[in-house]
């Protein structure tokens, strides 16, 4: 890998590791200092590597420089504290703690940081934003693009979140054993939403969307590697992500336009990720309880089956039935109704769809348009027009317009 490609790659993989270790050492109140040291490390790399060439082990070079910069900061802080300690009547040690950038401490620090930024004291949006910034090393502009909002909004959101975590004195540490189940639930929800932000994003930035998904998967893998957090729900979530990610390359064409499931080139599906999903789904079944991630992973698994048989859609339908009893959502209800149409008939699905009455959802009218097609094309056309009027993203509008055009052409 050339230098111009290597440094951005290392920034994505190593910046968050360095930040997590330093923030754990300095405390959340000094998160900005940890980020500054990590940034300065990469600035040094960009300046020196261009002059002297790449070091033999670039990652180790970054860790060494980060350690030295952190030690210098701690020494300066200690000197300052010693100068004012007489006035404050406080004994201050000048000893600089060891900065441990071993692989194990990096993993532990990132896990502990994960629990800190996913603390219920801050909003879900802020949790996802902090996870992207601190745990994934995303820039403010990238986060703004992911949320389809402005940089000022993201900066203010992250600032408020950091202030809240400082006010609440949130420690960067593993929760007590009795607290892990409840706190882990918040972590999984954040990682789930982070993955969805990439997978279902309206953005046409393919590389950004894929990076979001990969980072969510990387962080979830960290949970599987720790005995205290390697739970059935965690395994179910990584299974879900694996199945979804297996179809990532088939979901858009060369121009970034969305390709619907039935039109995807199945040869582009990643078989390794499908097998990985199957492995973790089997591990998830070892528990006595089933989370929403179990049912969603099961649904995603059946979507990796390339043949459209009644058995496939009946299994998907039953999994949606279970999912809706665990956690109801309008989207899941709509998807369940579509599965009913494939497993049974459009007529049966229409009866169920009318009970939902989700008149403000464009996807509801899109589903009605799909179900009415071939039964009453006039009603199908009317439903699709309503869906078009209610949709916001250009990608959705294009798909709906194409369906209207096809319906018109077919009479």
Domain boundary among 203, 219, 251: 203
Q: What is the largest CA-CA distance in the chain?
A: 89
pLDDT for position 201: 74
- Indicate whether 135 belongs to any domain: yes
Measured CA to CA in angstroms, residue 410 lies from 234, 346, 374, 383, 405 at distances of 47, 19, 10, 16, 9
Residue 80 has a pLDDT of: 47
Residue 378 lies in a domain: no
Look at residue 381 and tell me if it is in a domain. no
Cα separations (Å) of 252 from 71, 205, 386? 47, 11, 25
Structural domain includes residue 87: yes
Residue of 174, 262, 258, 246 lying closest to 213 (CA atoms): 246
pLDDT one-digit tens code per residue, 190-236: 999 889 988 887 666 677 688 889 999 999 999 999 999 999 999 99
The verdict on 20 and 70 lying in the same domain is yes
CA distance 348 to 9: 51
Measure Cα distances from 354 to 342, 347, 365, 369, 371 in Å. 17, 11, 10, 12, 11
DSSP-based helix, strand, coil % in the chain, nearest 5: 75, 0, 25
Same structural domain for residues 144 and 124?
yes
Same domain, 78 and 122: no
Which residue range is the domain that position 197 belongs to? 103-170+177-203
Q: Among the three residues 72, 93, 114, which one is the final residue of a domain in this structure?
A: 93
Q: What is the pLDDT of residue 69?
A: 93
Residue 332 within any structural domain of the chain: no
Q: What does the DSSP 8-state code read for residue 135? A: I
Shared domain check, 111 and 58: no
Tell me, yes or no, whether 24 and 107 share the same domain. Answer: no
Phi, psi of 27 (to 5 degrees): 100, 155
The answer to whether residues 80 and 29 belong to one domain is yes
What total number of domains does the chain contain?
Answer: 2
What is the Cα–Cα distance from 158 to 166, expressed in whole angstroms? 12
48 located within any domain? yes
One domain for residues 111 and 88: no
Q: CA torsion angle for 305, 310, 315, 316 (degrees, to 10)?
A: 70
Residues 26 and 64 in one domain: yes
Q: Based on the fold, state whether residues 74 and 149 are members of the same structural domain.
A: no
In this predicted model, what pLDDT tens digit does every residue of 114-123 receive, in sequence order? 999 999 889 9
CA pair distance 356, 333, nearest whole angstrom? 8
Its pTM stands at: 0.87
The answer to whether residues 113 and 42 belong to one domain is: no
- Domain CATH number, residue 123: 1.10.10
The reported pLDDT for the residue numbered 357 is 85
Low-confidence ranges of the chain (pLDDT < 70): 1-4, 77-96, 202-205, 208, 411
Structure-token pair, residue 287: 């528990």
* Separation CA 35–CA 25 (nearest Å): 13
Give yes or no: residues 22 and 89 share one domain.
Answer: yes
Cβ atoms of 10 and 62 closer than 8 Å: yes
In a domain, residue 43? The reply is yes
60/131 same-domain check: no
Domain termination residue (choose one: 50, 70, 93)? 93
Report yes or no on 63 lying in a domain. Answer: yes
Partners of 252 in beta bridges: 258
């Amino acid at each position: 890998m050339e230098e111009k490609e290597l440094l951005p790659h290392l920034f994505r993989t190593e910046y968050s590791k360095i930040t997590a270790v330093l923030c754990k050492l300095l405390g959340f109140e000094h998160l900005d200092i940890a980020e500054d040291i990590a940034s300065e490390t990469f600035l040094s790399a960009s300046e020196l590597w261009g002059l002297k060439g790449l070091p033999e082990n670039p990652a180790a070079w970054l860790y060494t420089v980060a350690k030295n910069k952190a030690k210098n900061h701690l020494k300066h802080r200690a000197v300052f504290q010693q100068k004012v300690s007489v006035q404050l009547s406080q004994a201050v040690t000048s000893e600089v703690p060891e900065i441990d950038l071993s692989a194990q401490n990096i993993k532990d620090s990132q896990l502990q940081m994960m629990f800190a930024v996913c603390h219920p004291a801050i909003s879900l949006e802020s949790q996802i934003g902090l996870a992207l910034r601190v745990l994934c090393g995303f820039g403010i502009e990238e986060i703004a693009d992911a949320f389809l909002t402005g940089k000022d909004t993201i900066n203010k959101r992250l600032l408020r979140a950091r202030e809240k975590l400082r006010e609440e004195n949130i420690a960067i540490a593993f929760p007590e054993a009795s607290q892990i189940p409840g706190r882990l639930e918040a972590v999984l929800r954040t990682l789930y939403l982070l993955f969805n932000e990439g997978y279902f994003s309206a953005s046409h930035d393919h590389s950004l969307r894929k990076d979001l998904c990969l980072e969510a998967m990387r962080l979830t893998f960290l949970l599987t590697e720790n005995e205290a957090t390697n739970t059935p729900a965690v395994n179910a979530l990584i299974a879900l992500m694996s199945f979804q990610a297996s179809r990532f390359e088939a979901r858009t064409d060369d121009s970034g336009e969305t390709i619907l499931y039935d039109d995807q080139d199945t040869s582009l599906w990643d078989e390794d990720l499908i097998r990985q999903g199957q492995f973790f789904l089997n591990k998830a079944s070892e528990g006595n309880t089933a989370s929403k991630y179990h049912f969603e992973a099961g649904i995603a698994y059946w979507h990796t089956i390339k043949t459209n048989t009644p058995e496939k859609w009946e299994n998907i339908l039953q999994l949606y039935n279970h999912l809706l009893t665990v956690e109801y959502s309008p989207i899941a209800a709509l998807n369940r109704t579509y599965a009913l149409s494939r497993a049974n008939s459009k007529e049966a699905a229409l009866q169920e769809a009318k009970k939902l009455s989700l008149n403000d959802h464009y996807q509801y009218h899109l589903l009605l348009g799909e179900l009415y097609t071939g039964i009453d094309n006039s009603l199908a056309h009317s439903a699709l027009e309503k869906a078009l009027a209610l949709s916001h993203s250009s990608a959705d509008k294009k798909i709906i317009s194409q369906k209207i055009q096809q319906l018109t052409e077919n009479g």
